[in-house]
Amino acid sequence: MNHLSLIITREYLTKVRNKSFIIMTFLSPLLIVGIFGLVAYLSNLNNDTVRNISVLDESGLFAEDFESTSHTKYKLLFNVPLEDAKAEAEKNEIYGLLYIPKSENLESLSEGITFYSQDSPSLSMMKDINNMLESKVNILKLKDAGIDSQLINDLRIKVAANQVTFKGEETSKMGSGLKLVFGGAAGYLLFMFIIIYGNMIMRSVIEEKTSRVIEVIISSVKPRVLLLGKIIGTTLAGITQFLIWVILSFALLTAISAIFGVDVAGGAPSQQVIQQGVDGGAEQIVQDVIREINNLPIANLVIMFVLFFVGGYLLYASLYAAVGAAVDSETDTQQFMMPILMPLMLAVYVGFFTVIDNPHGTVSQVFSYIPFTSPVVMLMRIPFGVPLWQQLISVAILFLTFFGTVWFAAKIYRVGILMYGKKPTYKELLKWLRY
Amino acid sequence: MEKLLEVNNVSKHYGDYKALNDVSITVEKGSIFGLLGPNGAGKTTLIRIINQITMPDSGKVILDGEPLQPHHIQQIGYLPEERGLYKTMKVGEQALYLAQLKGLSKQEAKARLKYWFDRLEIGDWWDKKIQELSKGMAQKIQFVVTVLHTPKLLIFDEPFSGFDPINANLIKDEILKLRDDGATVIFSTHRMESVEEMCDHIALIHKSNKILDGSLIDIKREYRSNTFEIGLVTPDHVATTAALKEKFEIFPASFKSINNELQYKVKLPDSSSSNDFVSFLTAQGQLTHFVEVVPSASDIFIETIQKN
């Protein structure tokens, strides 16, 4: 075996066999899914409590409209004075008392409606009650004016503008959502990957320094080969962990949703599906989603994802390794982490605020060329359609910078791994480049 | 003698700091070469240049007749002063890994490790993690790993630090045995008694310059000052002391003796011979002790550094 594969194997095996790595790998999805399950379970539990509400309808107009549900039970009171009803409700610990006064006209009646309760009532429940009363009052008002409310409903026409690109491809609002999900997921995944495994590389460099094994190693291997082997080995361990996370999370989510009957797998898009489902029917939605996915530049997305992911990750990984080489212990890294984390955070903020707002605005464009932010920002822009030449320029800038940083990191690394004691200043780091 | 290593006019700067200034050394095959110098003199830089960890700014290094090349790494075994092993890795796995990095095949490395582990009686450490071992135990592993690939050139930087006297002796004997088996050793240390015992040849580096170089015996010859330690039984100590003082430079001396005698170190003028001195002494009284004072490596070290 040559040096590089020996180093990669060692790095990979020590990472994968490490106890805390194994625990993290299997515990993280359990924790995440567990918390998710707990929330789902608790909210189920919350919904299970039945609210008893007394209704004192002196007007007699709403008698037929209160339909009890599994969560809310209405009890109609008749011919009881308000004070007695209130006292009764409080004594029996009833959730609330809805009072509708008798009145000459609907306006003053509406103003007189009152909900009495022990504490502030649930917002969602009040909204339901208000909506119900409001629509009923409106129907009555129309009736007073001699208009048939059914007729109005029948005459109403819905408008949803068809969205078509100039090339004739149909788009839809759901398409934009889908693009956001794809782009956001890609960008965020890269961000997480850089943070987690960049740190791991840094720690492994520091470990070699603190255990003083480094000089033994580099008397056999070129520092550049060691650096490369470290990055590749750690990355492979990272990919292994990520894959296990994905598989485990998926399996667990499926299991949980089966047990609790909650649609957890759907997540964010499911809400859109439900909303549109009201308008267009479920089948139409599924067709729309499939069509939108087909409309996405899948091949472009995948190729660029790989390029930006590799370029962006390696760019940052080499910087992390350089930081590890420059210091003696993890506590000293803070000062050097700032310049790494700042552009990374900036990329994510620009991605999630600016790109979502306007994928092709000036800010989005500029940040998708700057190599330290382009992997995240460009990945988020691509689903919205970025001309190929722009993508290629961005990739070219990224890889040129990547070679620059690797050169820089290798220099710092080569000198830094043999420097013990004092934490270097930025000025000294620059000096190292000339050693 | 055949040369194994030649370092020719090597210089190295770190920024404005000059770590090595035009240093040349020659190491003969099968010898033990002591590389001496105060802390920060540039020894480690020179050793790192020989190991191709650092590149020299100028000058050449020739190993066994060839200019230094990457593949030479496999012919050198280096035990750095700042040394250690992966703490969480198991002994056997780690030794195999390091041996393979030095170019041994896995099977070969395993066989040789078994030989060494049996020899040093550390076979049952194979599955232990380094962090479970004491410092001395870890040092033994480190020594084995350094010599396992039977390098032509062995470089030991403070090899005895971290060892108790018994183990230090054991390692010393192993180094001598490796030399006898044909290896050439460069040996950097501050322990002058080991230099005295082991080195055939020494070079002294001070403030980035080589200030002394040669075989230990030649250097000692050069540094001897025609000084003798004497014991003399005389009836009148005061008179004899006065007589000595008149002709020579004398210094107090003290050695164990069964006689009640006069004890001095006496420096003769460069021209005078020891025979004349003995005649002079026997005329004064009965000579009971007569030894030439040979400078120790430590004396030479201190004297040379102070001169510069």
Confidence band of A170 (pLDDT split at 50, 70, 90)? low
Task: Provide the Cα torsion A314, A320, A323, A327; round to 10°.
Answer: -130
Percent of all residues in chain A with a pLDDT value above 90, rounded to a whole number? 12
Assess whether A178 and A115 both reside in one domain: no
Q: Is residue A415 part of a domain?
A: yes
Cα distance between residue A284 and residue A43, in whole Å = 30
CA dihedral (B117, B120, B125, B127) in degrees, to 10, reads: -10
Residues A251 and A107 occupy one common structural domain: no
| The pLDDT of residue A171 | 64
Helix and strand element counts for chain B (H, E): 10, 14
Q: Tell me which residue has tokens 């002058």.
A: B192
CA distance A218 to chain B (A): 7
Residue of B nearest to A226 (CA): B101
Alpha helices in chain B (DSSP H): 43-50, 91-101, 106-119, 135-147, 165-180, 192-198, 216-223, 237-247, 274-284, 297-307
Contact A18 B88 (CB under 8 A): yes
Averaged pLDDT, A378-402:
89
| pLDDT in the model for residue B97 | 94
Chain A: closest CA distance from residue B73 (Å): 6
Inside any domain, residue A411 = yes
Show the beta-strand stretches assigned E in A43-172: 51-57, 72-77, 96-100, 114-117, 163-164, 170-171
Q: Tens digits of per-residue pLDDT, A78-106? A: 888 888 888 888 888 788 888 888 887 88
CA–CA distances in Å: residue B75 to residues A332, A416, B52, B148: 37, 26, 12, 11
DSSP H or E stretch at residue A88: helix A82-91
Phi, psi of A94 (to 5 degrees): -80, 145
- Please indicate, yes or no, whether residues A319 and A200 belong to a single structural domain of this protein: yes
The interface residues of chain A toward chain B in range 221-260, judged by CB-CB distance below 8 A, are 221-222
pLDDT of residue A283: 67
- Residue A93 sits at φ, ψ, to 5 deg, of 55, 45
Q: Which of A213, A218, A431 has its CB closest to that of B15?
A: A431
**Statement: residue A278 has pLDDT above 60:** no
pLDDT at A268: 43
Say if A12 falls within a structural domain.
no
- The reply to whether A217 touches chain B by the CB within 8 Å rule is yes
Give the gap in angstroms from C-alpha B153 to the nearest C-alpha of chain A: 13
> Using alpha carbons only, how large is chain B's radius of gyration in Å?
25
Distance CA A92, CA A55 (A): 14
Mean pLDDT to the nearest integer, A358-374: 88
**So what's the pLDDT on residue B40?**
85
The answer, for A265 touching chain B at a CB cutoff of 8 Å, is no
Identify the pLDDT of residue A270. 43
A18–B70 CB contact, under 8 Å: no
Nearest alpha-carbon partner for A422 in A352, A337, A327, A303: A327
A240, HSE (Cβ side, Cα atoms, 13 Å): 16
Assigned token pair, A248: 């485990």
Q: Is the domain of A125 the same as that of A191? A: no
Helix axes A388-416, A298-326, angle to 10 degrees: 20
Contacts of B142 in chain A (CB under 8 A): 216
Count other Cβ atoms within 10 Å, centred on residue A324: 29
Report yes or no: A363 and A350 within 8 Å, Cβ to Cβ. yes
The better pLDDT of the pair A173, A204 is held by A204
Considering the domain architecture, whether residues A63 and A111 belong to the same structural domain is answered as: yes
Nearest to A211 among B86, B102, B145 (CB): B86
User: How would you label A206-230 residue by residue, b for 16+ Cβ within 10 Å and e otherwise?
Assistant: bbbbbbbbbbbbbbbbbbbbbbbbb
A434–chain B Cβ distance below 8 A for any pair:
yes
Which residues of B are less than 8 Å from A221 in CB distance?
101
The answer to whether the Cβ–Cβ distance between B53 and A220 falls below 8 Å is no
Q: Are residues A280 and A139 in the same domain?
A: no
Tell whether A325 and A210 lie within a shared domain.
Answer: yes
Within 8 A of A420 by CB-CB distance, chain B residues are 82
Distance separating alpha carbons of residues A161 and A176, to the nearest angstrom: 15
Query: Could you say which of A208, A211, A216 has the minimum Cβ distance to residue B80?
Result: A216
pLDDT tops 60 at residue A280? no
Task: Quote the pLDDT of residue A339.
Answer: 87
Given A155, A183, A210, which residue is the final one in a domain?
A: A155
Query: What does the CA dihedral A343, A345, A346, A352 come to, rounded to 10 degrees?
Result: 150
Q: Which of A10, A220, A222, A230 to mutate to test the interface with B (most CBs of B within 10 A)?
A: A220
Q: Quote the pLDDT of residue A281.
A: 59
All CATH 3.30.70 domain ranges of chain B, comma separated, are 225-292
Q: Does domain B225-292 have CATH number 3.30.70?
A: yes
Question: Could you read off the pLDDT of A412-421 as tens digits, one per residue?
Answer: 888 888 887 7
Q: What is the mean pLDDT of residues A384-409?
A: 89
Taking 70 as the pLDDT cut, the residues of chain B under it are none
What pLDDT does residue A271 have? 44
| A419 to chain B: closest CA residue | B82
Six token digits for residue A387: 């001309």
- Residue B72: closest C-alpha in chain A: A220
CB proximity B98 to A under 8 Å: yes
For residue A274, the model assigns a pLDDT of: 43
Task: Give the burial class of A173: count Cβ atoms within 10 A of its Cβ; 0-12 exposed, 13-18 middle, 19 or more buried.
Answer: middle
Least Cα distance to A317 among A434, A410, A429, A183 occurs for A410
Contacts of A120 (CB under 8 A, 6+ apart): none
Residue B73 with chain A: CB contacts under 8 Å: 219-220
> B83: which DSSP letter?
-
Question: Which of the pair, A156 or B157, is modelled with greater confidence?
Answer: B157
Contact A228, B90 (CB under 8 A): no
Rounded to the nearest angstrom, the minimum Cα separation between A341 and chain B is 29
- Token pair belonging to B69: 């090349």
Q: Which of A14, A221, A435 sits opposite B101 (nearest CB)?
A: A221
What is the pLDDT, as a whole number, of residue A169?
Answer: 66
CA–CA distances in Å: residue A245 to residues A182, A190, A267, B225: 19, 15, 18, 78
Question: Do residues B79 and B153 touch, judged by C-beta distance below 8 A?
Answer: no
CA distance B171 to chain A (A): 19
- β-strand partners of A77: A56
Q: Does B135 lie at the interface with A, CB-CB under 8 angstroms? A: no
Residue A265, pLDDT score: 43
In a domain, residue A191? The reply is: yes
CATH number of the domain encompassing residue A98: 3.40.190.10
Contacts of B106 (CB under 8 A, 6+ apart): B96, B100
Of B83, B89, B97, the CB nearest to A215: B83
Boundaries of CATH 3.40.50.300 in chain B?
3-221
B289 min Cα distance to partner chain A (Å) = 51
Q: What is the pLDDT of residue A174?
A: 63
Tell me the average pLDDT across A399-410.
88
- Predicted pLDDT of residue A37: 77
Taking 60 as the threshold, does the pLDDT of residue A1 lie above it? no
Contact B101 A3 (CB under 8 A): yes
Closest partner residue to B78 (CB to CB) among A219, A222, A420 is A219
Q: Is the ipTM of this complex over 0.85?
A: no
Judged against a pLDDT cut of 90, whether residue A41 lies above it is answered with no
Beta strands B286-292 and B227-233 are: antiparallel
Residues of A in contact with B48 (CB under 8 A): 418
Q: Looking at CA atoms only, how far is residue B293 from chain A in angstroms? A: 42
Ordered DSSP codes for A257-294:
HHHH---TTT-HHHHHHHHHHHHH-HHHHHHHHHHHHH
Within this chain, do residues A78 and A134 fall inside the same structural domain, yes or no?
yes
> Does one domain contain both A103 and A149?
yes
Q: Do B73 and A220 touch (CB under 8 A)?
A: yes
pLDDT for the residue numbered B143: 93
What does the pLDDT read at residue A276? 45
pLDDT in tens, A57-83: 888 788 777 878 777 888 888 888 888
Mean pLDDT for the stretch of residues A400-429: 84
Dig out the tokens for A250 from the structure. 């998926």
The pLDDT value given to residue A267: 43
Regarding whether A118 and A69 lie in a shared domain, the answer is: yes
CA distances from A228 to A224, A225, B245 (A): 6, 5, 73
Task: Please list every residue in chain A whose beta carbon sits closer than 8 Å to the beta carbon of residue B78.
Answer: 215-216, 219
A420 touches chain B (CB under 8 A): yes
What residues are paired with A97 via a beta bridge? Answer: A54, A116
Residues on chain A touching B102 (C-beta within 8 angstroms): 220
Bridge-based pairing state of the strands A96-100 and B286-292: unpaired
- CA B283 to chain CA centroid, Å, is 43
Please give the C-alpha separations between residue B301 and each of A11, B23, B191, in angstroms, as whole numbers.
45, 18, 11
Residue where one domain finishes, among candidates A122, A155, A188: A155
Q: What are the backbone angles phi and psi of residue A264, rounded to the nearest 5°? A: -85, -30
A418 at interface of B, judged by CB pairs closer than 8 A = yes
Select from B11, B12, B17, B53 the residue whose CB has the most chain A CBs within 10 Å, as the one to mutate to test that interface.
B53
Quote the tokens at residue A10. 């060692």
> Tokens 């339909």 correspond to what residue?
A67
B287 and A CB contact within 8 Å:
no
Query: Per-residue confidence at A165, pLDDT binned at 50, 70, 90?
Result: confident
C-alpha distance from A326 to closest chain B C-alpha (Å): 16
Answer for the pair A312, A399: CB distance below 8 angstroms, yes or no.
no
Are residues A223 and A370 both part of a single domain?
yes
Residue range A7-12: mean pLDDT, rounded: 94
Q: Tell me the backbone φ, ψ of residue B255, rounded to 5 degrees.
A: -140, 160
Tally of domains within chain A: 2
pLDDT averaged over chain A?
82
* Two tokens, residue B250: 């004398």
Judged by CB atoms closer than 8 Å, whether chains meet at B53 and A18 is answered as no
> Smallest Cβ distance to A211: which of B51, B85, B97?
B85
Please tell me the class of the B3-221 domain: alpha beta
Boundaries of domain holding A62: 50-155
- A391 has pLDDT over 50: yes
| pLDDT of A272 higher than 50 | no
For the segment A350-364, the average pLDDT, to the nearest whole number, is 84
**Residue whose tokens read 């040849």:** B201
Q: Which of A213, A219, A431 sits opposite B51 (nearest CB)?
A: A219
| Mutate which: A215, A411, A434, vs B, most B CBs within 10 A | A215
The contacts of residue B72 (CB under 8 Å, 6+ apart) are B52, B63, B66
List, in sequence order, every residue forming a beta bridge with B281; answer none if it has no partner. none
Q: Does A427 touch chain B (CB under 8 A)?
A: no
Helix (H, G, I), strand (E, B) or coil at A146: coil
Among B172, B117, B179, which residue's Cα sits nearest to residue B152? B179
CB contact under 8 A, B101 and A211: no
Which of A110-114, A264-268, A370-374 has the weakest average pLDDT? Answer: A264-268
Residue in B231, B222, B242 with CA at minimum distance from that of residue B307: B222
Least Cα separation, residue B197 to chain A (angstroms): 27
Task: For residue A162, tell me if it sits in a domain.
Answer: no
